[in-house]
C-alpha cells in the first residue's frame, strides 16, 4: 500500500521527454499566428512559475510580479541599445538579476506585513512602477530599435523553442527546489511561521529568498517578452495584467508544473476564444477573478483538486489490493545502552542541558508562569505536568523564544539564550514540537523529516528513522498520512536533528494505545540514541511515569512539586492540587528496580 501511495521516484524524465516532444511538434507544425500565441503562452508560463514560487509555495500574496517582468524587459532593451556583449542570453540573465535586486528591495520593507496588508503593499509598488514605466519609454522604443532574438532562434518557431527551453529549465530548477530543504522551508513558512522558526528556519530569510527568486523568474519572463515583441511598452506589465495573472495563478494552482503551463495557455487562449464569439477580451479577467474567488472559498486550486482526485483513486486501489497485515510488529533497533531491566541507564550527576532560572511571564494581570526554575540534565527525560492552564505551554513558548515578554534566564548548555529569537534558539539546539500538529501537508514524508531535522540527512538515515517510528515511506505525500502519524513524524524529525534539548508538547495527544506504546519506547530512547535531553509536557501520566527520569509539576504558573516520577505522582500535595486519586498510574515493578 505504501508503495502505491508514493510518488513516482523520477517524474522528471517523462516530464522532460513530454516537453521536448510537444515543443518539437508545435514548432514544426504550427502556423506563424499560432506560434506567436504559443510564445505568449510560454512567456505567461514563466510569469506564472514566478507566482507559483512566491504565492503558491511561500504563501506571500504578491500582486507586483509583472513589475519585476517590466524591469527585466527594460534591462534587456537597455542592454541591446548600449550593446552589452554576450547577446540575448546574457541580457536575459542581466534582466533577471536586476529583477532579483528589485525583489529584495520590495521584500525587505514588506517583511513585517502579512496577508491583505502585504497584497496592498505589493499592489502599491505595481502602481508606482506603472507610473514610472509610462513616463520613461523602454530603450529602443522611440526609434523602433527592435531587440534581436538569439542567434539561431530568430524566427517564430526558433524563438518558441528558445522560450520553451527557458520554461523547461525553470521547471527543472523548481522541481529540485521542491525537493530541497529550502523548498520545504518555504512551504513550512506558508503553513506556519511558528513551526518554521521552531525548526530553525529564518522566516525573514525564507521570504526574502522567495521574493528574490520569484522576481528573478519574472524578470527573465519580461526579457523573453522583449524578444517576442521586439519593442515593449508599459501596458504589457501593467498592474491590471499583474492582478489578472495573480487570479489565474490562484485559480489554476501554478505551484504545480502542470498548473503553470495550463495557466500560461489559459491566459492567452481564453481571451482569443471569447473574442471569436464577440465578447471583449478584457472580460476574460472577470472570469479568472471569479475562478480565483471560487478557489479561495474551496481552499484548493484546480490542479490541487485534480492531484487530490488522482491520489484518492490510488488510495482506493491500494486499499482494495492491500494484503498487508496491519498487526505486523514494527522492527525496532535495540537501544544503545540498557540496564539489566531493559530500560536505558542514565547518569544521576549529569550536567544541565537546559536550565530555566526564575522565569516569570505575565499576560496583563495574569501571571501565567510565576518564578519557575527547573533543570533538564544531559541525557535525561524530564516530565512537565499540571492541570489545564497551569502554564506549561507558556513555559515551553518562553524557553524556545516564542514569548519575549518574560523575566528570568534560560540557559542552554550553561549559556544564556534570552537574547536569541526563536529560529536562532532552534539552531543553537533548543528544538520544540507543538501541541497542535503544524505539519505542512503539501510536503512528502522524507522532505518533512529533513526540514524538521534542520540538518542534511542521508536517505539511509531518513529510511531508518521512518522504520523506527513505524511511519510510511519517504515518498509518501504528507496529506495521505493520518494526524496521529504526523505527530509521530514530528517527533521523529526533531529527534533526528540531534539537538542538545528537545521540548515535546503533548506528543501523545490523539494517538492510539499502540502508537502511544511505540512513542513511549522511542521517547525513552531519545537521550541515548540522539544525545538529546527531553522536556516532555504530557497529560498521559502513564507515559510520563514510564519515560521520565524526573517530573516537575506546575499549578497556577508555579512549580508545586518535582522529583522521581513515582514519588511525585503520589505526593499528596500533587494529588489534591491536581491529579485526583483515580488518575494515579500504577507503579511499574521494572522501574522500581531501575538503577537511575
Ligand X SMILES: Nc1ncnc2c1ncn2[C@@H]1O[C@H](COP(=O)(O)OP(=O)(O)OP(=O)(O)O)[C@@H](O)[C@H]1O
Contacts with ligand X by CB under 6 A lie at: 363, 366, 368, 386, 388-394, 435
Q: Which is nearer to ligand X, 106 or 399 (CB)?
A: 399
**Alpha-carbon gap, residue 295 to 337, rounded angstroms:** 54
Residue whose C-alpha cell is 501596458: 235
Q: Which is nearer to ligand X, 495 or 553 (CB)?
A: 553
Q: Which is nearer to ligand X, 210 or 390 (CB)?
A: 390
**Alpha-carbon gap, residue 484 to 165, rounded angstroms:** 44
| Contact (CB, 8 A) for 559 and 543 | no
Residue 527 Cβ vs ligand X, minimum distance, rounded to whole Å: 24
**Alpha-carbon gap, residue 245 to 235, rounded angstroms:** 14
Residue 393 Cβ vs ligand X, minimum distance, rounded to whole Å: 3
Residue 535 Cβ vs ligand X, minimum distance, rounded to whole Å: 13
| Residue 76 vs residues 85, 88, 96, 256, 523: alpha-carbon distances, Å | 12, 8, 9, 28, 58
Residue 194 Cβ vs ligand X, minimum distance, rounded to whole Å: 12
Residue 397 Cβ vs ligand X, minimum distance, rounded to whole Å: 7
Q: Which is nearer to ligand X, 17 or 366 (CB)?
A: 366
Residue 557 Cβ vs ligand X, minimum distance, rounded to whole Å: 7
Residue 376 Cβ vs ligand X, minimum distance, rounded to whole Å: 17
Q: Which is nearer to ligand X, 248 or 390 (CB)?
A: 390
| Contact (CB, 8 A) for 301 and 259 | yes
Residue 370 Cβ vs ligand X, minimum distance, rounded to whole Å: 10
Q: Which residues are bridge partners to 360 per DSSP?
A: 407
Phi-psi region of 505 (alpha: psi -120 to 50; beta: other; left: phi over 0): beta
Q: What is the largest CA-CA distance in the chain?
A: 92
| Contact (CB, 8 A) for 342 and 546 | no
Residue 374 Cβ vs ligand X, minimum distance, rounded to whole Å: 14
Find the angle CA(245)-CA(104)-CA(196) to the nearest 5 degrees.
Answer: 85
| Contact (CB, 8 A) for 525 and 344 | yes
Beta strands, E only, 256-365: 352-363
Residue 407 Cβ vs ligand X, minimum distance, rounded to whole Å: 16
Q: Which is nearer to ligand X, 389 or 564 (CB)?
A: 389
Residue 551, helix vs strand vs coil: strand
Nearest residue to 586 via CA among 554, 541, 524: 541
Q: Based on the number of CB atoms within 10 Å of its own CB, is 596 exposed (0-12), middle (13-18) or buried (19 or more)?
A: middle
Q: Which is nearer to ligand X, 119 or 361 (CB)?
A: 361
Residue whose C-alpha cell is 508555579: 558
Q: What DSSP assignment string belongs to 212-259?
A: HHHHHHHHHHHHHHHHHHSS--GGGG-HHHHHHHHHHHHHHTTTSHHH
Enclosing H/E stretch for 457: none
Q: Which is nearer to ligand X, 394 or 532 (CB)?
A: 394
Q: Which is nearer to ligand X, 13 or 365 (CB)?
A: 365
Nearest residue to 380 via CA among 543, 548, 559: 548
Residue 324 Cβ vs ligand X, minimum distance, rounded to whole Å: 36
Tell me the backbone φ, ψ of residue 324, rounded to 5 degrees: -70, 140
| Contact (CB, 8 A) for 519 and 495 | no
Q: Which is nearer to ligand X, 106 or 553 (CB)?
A: 553
Q: Which is nearer to ligand X, 119 or 503 (CB)?
A: 503
What is the dihedral angle through the alpha carbons of 543, 544, 546, 552, rounded to the nearest 10 degrees?
A: 180
Backbone Cα Rg of the chain:
28
Residue whose C-alpha cell is 500582486: 63
Residue 544 Cβ vs ligand X, minimum distance, rounded to whole Å: 13
Q: Which is nearer to ligand X, 130 or 555 (CB)?
A: 555
Amino acid at each position: 500500500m505504501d508503495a502505491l501511495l508514493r510518488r513516482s521516484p523520477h517524474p522528471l524524465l517523462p516530464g522532460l521527454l513530454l516537453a521536448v516532444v510537444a515543443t518539437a511538434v508545435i514548432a514544426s507544425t504550427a502556423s506563424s499566428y499560432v506560434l506567436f500565441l504559443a510564445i505568449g503562452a510560454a512567456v505567461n508560463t514563466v510569469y506564472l512559475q514566478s507566482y507559483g514560487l512566491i504565492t503558491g509555495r511561500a504563501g506571500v500574496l504578491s500582486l507586483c510580479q509583472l513589475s519585476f517582468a517590466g524591469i527585466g524587459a527594460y534591462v534587456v532593451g537597455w542592454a541591446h541599445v548600449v550593446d552589452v556583449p554576450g547577446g540575448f542570453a546574457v541580457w536575459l540573465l542581466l534582466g533577471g538579476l536586476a529583477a532579483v535586486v528589485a525583489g529584495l528591495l520590495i521584500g525587505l520593507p514588506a517583511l513585517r506585513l502579512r496577508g491583505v496588508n502585504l497584497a496592498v503593499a505589493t499592489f502599491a509598488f505595481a502602481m508606482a512602477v506603472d507610473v514610472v514605466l509610462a513616463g520613461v519609454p523602454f530603450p529602443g522604443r522611440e526609434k523602433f530599435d527592435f531587440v534581436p532574438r538569439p542567434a539561431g532562434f530568430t524566427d517564430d518557431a526558433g524563438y518558441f523553442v528558445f522560450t520553451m527551453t527557458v520554461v523547461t529549465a525553470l521547471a527543472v530548477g523548481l522541481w529540485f527546489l521542491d525537493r530541497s530543504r529550502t523548498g520545504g522551508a518555504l512551504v513550512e513558512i506558508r503553513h506556519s511561521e511558528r513551526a518554521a522558526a521552531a525548526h530553525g528556519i529564518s522566516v525573514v530569510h525564507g521570504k526574502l529568498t522567495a521574493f528574490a527568486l520569484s522576481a528573478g523568474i519574472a524578470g527573465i519572463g519580461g526579457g523573453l517578452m522583449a524578444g517576442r515583441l521586439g519593442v515593449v511598452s508599459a501596458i504589457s506589465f501593467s498592474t491590471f495584467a499583474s492582478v489578472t495573472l495573480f487570479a489565474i495563478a490562484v485559480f489554476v494552482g501554478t505551484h504545480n508544473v502542470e498548473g503553470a503551463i495550463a495557466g500560461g495557455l489559459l491566459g492567452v487562449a481564453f481571451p482569443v476564444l471569447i473574442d471569436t464569439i464577440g465578447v471583449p477580451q478584457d472580460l476574460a479577467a472577470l472570469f479568472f477573478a471569479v475562478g480565483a474567488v471560487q478557489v479561495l472559498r474551496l481552499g484548493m486550486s484546480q490542479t490541487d483538486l485534480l492531484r487530490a482526485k488522482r491520489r484518492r483513486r490510488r488510495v482506493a486501489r491500494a486499499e482494495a489490493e492491500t494484503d498487508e497485515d496491519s498487526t505486523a510488529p514494527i522492527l525496532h533497533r535495540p537501544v544503545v545502552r540498557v540496564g539489566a531491566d531493559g530500560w536505558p541507564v542514565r547518569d544521576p550527576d549529569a550536567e544541565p542541558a537546559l536550565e530555566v532560572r526564575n522565569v516569570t511571564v505575565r499576560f496583563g494581570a495574569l501571571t501565567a508562569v510565576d518564578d519557575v526554575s527547573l533543570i533538564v540534565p544531559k541525557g535525561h527525560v524530564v516530565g512537565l505536568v499540571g492541570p489545564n492552564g497551569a502554564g506549561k505551554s507558556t513555559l515551553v513558548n518562553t524557553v524556545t523564544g516564542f514569548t519575549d515578554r518574560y523575566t528570568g534566564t534560560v540557559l542552554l548548555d550553561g549559556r544564556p539564550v534570552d537574547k536569541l529569537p526563536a529560529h536562532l534558539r532552534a539552531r543553537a539546539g533548543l528544538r520544540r514540537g507543538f501541541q497542535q500538529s503544524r505539519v505542512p501537508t503539501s510536503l512528502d514524508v522524507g522532505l518533512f523529516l529533513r526540514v524538521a531535522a534542520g540538518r542534511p540527512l542521508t536517505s539511509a538515515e531518513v529510511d531508518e528513522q521512518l522504520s523506527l517510528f513505524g511511519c510510511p515511506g519517504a515518498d509518501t505525500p504528507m496529506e495521505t498520512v493520518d494526524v496521529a502519524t504526523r505527530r509521530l513524524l514530528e517527533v521523529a524529525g526533531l529527534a533526528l536533528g540531534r539537538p542538545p534539548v528537545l521540548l515535546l508538547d503533548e506528543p501523545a495527544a490523539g494517538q492510539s494505545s499502540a502508537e502511544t506504546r511505540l512513542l513511549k519506547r522511542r521517547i525513552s530512547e531519545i537521550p541515548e540514541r540522539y544525545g538529546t535531553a527531553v522536556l516532555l509536557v504530557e497529560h498521559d501520566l502513564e507515559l510520563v511515569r514510564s519515560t521520565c527520569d524526573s517530573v516537575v509539576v506546575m499549578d497556577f504558573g508555579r512549580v508545586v512539586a518535582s522529583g522521581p516520577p513515582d514519588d511525585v505522582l503520589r505526593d499528596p500535595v500533587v494529588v489534591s492540587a491536581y491529579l485526583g486519586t483515580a488518575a494515579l498510574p500504577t507503579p511499574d515493578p521494572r522501574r522500581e528496580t531501575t538503577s537511575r
